[in-house]
Structure 1
Amino acid sequence: MKRFLVTLLALGCIAVLIVGNKHWKEKTFVAAEKGKQEIPLEVEEPQVDPESFLKLTANWPAQAKENYQLALEENRPFTILIAGSTDALGSDETAWSTIVKKELEQTYGETVQVIVKSYDLTSKQFKDKDKLEELIAEKPDVTLLEPFTLMDNGNVMISESHQTIEEIMTGLAEEKPEHVLLLQPPNPLYQANYYPVQVDALQKYADEEKIPYLNHWTAWPNPDKKEIQAYLTKDSQSITPSEKGHQAWAEFVLDYFIAD
């Protein structure tokens, strides 16, 4: 009987040890799993591939490419400023400037920021009101300027218009010496007379000063043909782009800034 009790006691001890060990393991496992859940997971930030972005700048002036590459290396946004008259740039969601801003920032991501500044002024008024300071304050790396050419029509002499361009270029370069200026005309008009002379003079000035000139008129129908009327608003003057005109203008600018 005594031997039986001893045996029974031994078996009981073994059972307690087995159950206790199992409980300890389960408790340890639960604690470990809980600990895993409490450790915050490190989320990898998307990596910027400089080469893939640099390939997109194939059409840019050499200095602009260098500026962009430096911005990538310094991990700061590259600022593109679009400036000019309100009639030319537009102001709603269908405006070419809005389309270009959205597409560039989507394509280049956080490596690029696009700022649009428009003014309902002639070039002389722009200068007299010291609006240049607003452009300088943006500290752009590249500026795409429509130099108020159509607004100047009949109001400002061509030579004075060009002088304002010179002052804009100088002012922006004083703030950022490596700044790059790009020029472009406003939209074409249907069967205009003196206006094409102004635009030709603008392109000649750009060539003489070695300023890159984005001649988006090549994306529009012949200004002397009726087909261009669909690209202009249907008001009494028809001097601003229609939605179709803004789209043609936007596609030209995007083809320049985003190489295939």
Structure 2
Amino acid sequence: MKRRVVSLIVLVAIISVLAGKWQYDNRLSAIAADAHERLSGGETEASDSSASEENQETGDEDTAGQDGQNEAEEETAYDLTELADVPESVPSLFESQVAEAIEEERPVSILAFGSRALSDYDETGVTPWPELLQDGLADHYGEGLFEVSVHSHGNMSSSQVAAEGLHEEAAASGADIFLIEPFIWNDNGDWFIEDTIYNLERMLDAVIGENPEAVIALMPSQPRGMYQAPNYIANQIVPFGDYADESSHVYLNHWENWPSVESEELQDYLEGVLPSQAGHDAWSEYVLAWLTGENE
């Protein structure tokens, strides 16, 4: 009799474990579907694959046209010392900032403000995306028109940054364009997204107070795989995206330029929890496309 009772208990336990796993897997699948739709647009990977195939098929044509393209880029490169008007490719959103900088004969100041994801924090030899952005802007507009600086605050939480007034230092920089990554990954596991947004709004108040004409762009932290960090995606990134979309600021969802959070390929874009070189490249390319008007 005791053996039967024990066997029954074991059977019930096994069924409970299996049922729990089934529910958990279903929940992850639902989160993945929602995140894929809301964060990646659902078509990025297919478009990238198609573009890759087309590039292979037309390789000779691309090579033949490369010299002409390089000549065109040289013709549209701008020398700040000779520039009288705003370049045509400057997006209208910050045309006035560029015009003012040209009139004052100074570069347009861009400040990237955020966590260790803005730097080579672990000294692995990567070129961080703000540096890549500076190079990309110079290639597109010519040397001197834009200047990118970085305030990277390591693994500090948004609460620590706000408490120490580090956002006030950023606000005092007088930048024309602010790129803000509000420490979402650093807050992950310790703070709710409501806390992160509260601290972000303190930062925004300081920036706007000092720089009422500045353009502000909000960005999520780096992606993580769906099965490595489902709560990070569902409880922090998605709500942050909703907040940013409804705000009066620009939302630069650079996740659209990364592999899907469900894809194994995403791991090639990360080194631990931070962007690898491929990740920095993807991040930089997305921001550069915005600054050059390619994704308006």
Task: Give the TM-score range, shorter chain.
Answer: 0.7 to 0.9
Residue 132 (structure 1) aligns with: 167
Residue 217 (structure 1) aligns with: 255
Size of the aligned set, in residue pairs, is 206
Is 1:202 matched up with 2:235? Answer: no
Q: Distance in 2 between matches of 1:85 and 1:111?
A: 26
Do the aligned partners of residues 93 and 188 (structure 1) sit closer, same or farther apart at CA in structure 2, a change above 3 Å counting? closer
TM-score by length of structure 2 reads 0.65
Query: 1:150 Cα shift?
Result: 0.4
Contact 2:97 2:176 in 1 (8 A): yes
Residue 150 (structure 1) aligns with: 185
Q: 1:89 aligns with which of 109, 114, 118?
A: 118
Query: 1:173 Cα shift?
Result: 1.5
Residue 249 (structure 1) aligns with: 283
Q: C-alpha offsets along residues 33-89 of structure 1, whole Å, 9 cap, x if unaligned?
A: xxxxxxxxxxxx9521524x2x2222x6x2x22222222223232211011101x21
Do the aligned partners of residues 222 and 93 (structure 1) sit closer, same or farther apart at CA in structure 2, a change above 3 Å counting? closer
Residue 231 (structure 1) aligns with: 269
Q: 1:70 aligns with which of 96, 100, 107?
A: 100
Query: 1:113 Cα shift?
Result: 1.7
Q: Output the aligned Cα RMSD.
A: 1.9
Q: Distance in 1 between matches of 2:81 and 2:256?
A: 39
Partner secondary structure for residue 113 of structure 1: strand
Partner secondary structure for residue 218 of structure 1: helix
Do the aligned partners of residues 48 and 159 (structure 1) sit closer, same or farther apart at CA in structure 2, a change above 3 Å counting? same
Q: Distance in 2 between matches of 1:144 and 1:155?
A: 24
**Identical aligned pairs, as a percentage?**
32
Residue 196 (structure 2) aligns with: 161
Given residue 240 of structure 2, which amino acid in structure 1 is its aligned partner? Answer: L
Structure having the higher Rg: 1
Q: 1:50 aligns with which of 85, 98, 117?
A: 85
Q: Distance in 2 between matches of 1:224 and 1:206?
A: 23
Partner secondary structure for residue 72 of structure 1: helix
Q: C-alpha offsets along residues 89-148 of structure 1, whole Å, 9 cap, x if unaligned?
A: 122552112111233245353232211110021100101111112202211111000100
Residue 141 (structure 1) aligns with: 176
TM-score by length of structure 1 reads 0.74
Contact 1:104 1:114 in 2 (8 A): no
Q: C-alpha offsets along residues 174-198 of structure 1, whole Å, 9 cap, x if unaligned?
A: 1121122100111111122111121
Partner secondary structure for residue 154 of structure 1: coil
Q: C-alpha offsets along residues 167-225 of structure 1, whole Å, 9 cap, x if unaligned?
A: 11111111121122100111111122111121111111112222210011111111112
Contact 1:122 1:148 in 2 (8 A): yes
Q: Distance in 2 between matches of 1:250 and 1:46?
A: 26
Partner secondary structure for residue 244 of structure 1: helix
Contact 1:85 1:119 in 2 (8 A): yes
Residue 61 (structure 2) aligns with: none
Do the aligned partners of residues 90 and 190 (structure 1) sit closer, same or farther apart at CA in structure 2, a change above 3 Å counting? same
My pick for the range that moved more, 112-121 or 95-104, is 95-104
